[in-house]
Structure 1
Amino acid sequence: WCPELKADDPTKQGICSNHICDTKPGDDMVLTGPAGKVMLLPEEDPTTDYIMVATGTGIAPYRGFIRRLFTEDTPAGQAYKGQAWLFLGVANSDALLYDDEWQKVKEEYPD
């Protein structure tokens, strides 16, 4: 779907999203996750700077990182003194996930 055209755009095809959208009730689906590959922030040095780059739903792990560092009351967040940059690429503003959260963190931590 293309918001600008207000119509389906066959040039914009996502693999996973389209697969899920094309399934019918009762269809079998095999799903697996990354076993044993947990993405964790290194917390040894609270002055570490982070540069995060994501597109679309790839933002999910970085959402957790940002929350851990800035919005949750955690030892890592209390000790953190570095800078974190998040670069998020989306096709249009309709695809911008969690924008209200990003704006709130940006307002509370402008540096």
Structure 2
Amino acid sequence: MKNLTALFAAAALTLTAGLAQADVRPDYIEGLLKSGKIMTFDKLNAAALAKHAGASILDTELDEQVGGRLVYEVEMRDTSNVKWDVKLDAKTGEVLENKQDT
């Protein structure tokens, strides 16, 4: 029984480890921009908006994921009133995820 409990606990930790993230403190952002570790938010917003022409940005967030990758998250609403979540690599602008918000 103990082995089964340990197995389930290990599986749960493994599955959630990739999802863990933490908001980047606002006072760190200027240093990240100056060092080139992230693109400007204007460029990242433009990359996200390019996925949904005419959309409006509702919210943005810069997160650091496990492993140190910085991800810029954009929540937007398109011209059909559909909400979208777009995640970009904050350094390169590569779109990592583009999904409809449910």
Same fold (TM over 0.5): no
What range is the shorter-chain TM-score in? under 0.3
Point out the structure with max Rg over C-alpha: 1
Q: Which has the higher contact order (CA 8 A, sep 6+)?
A: 1
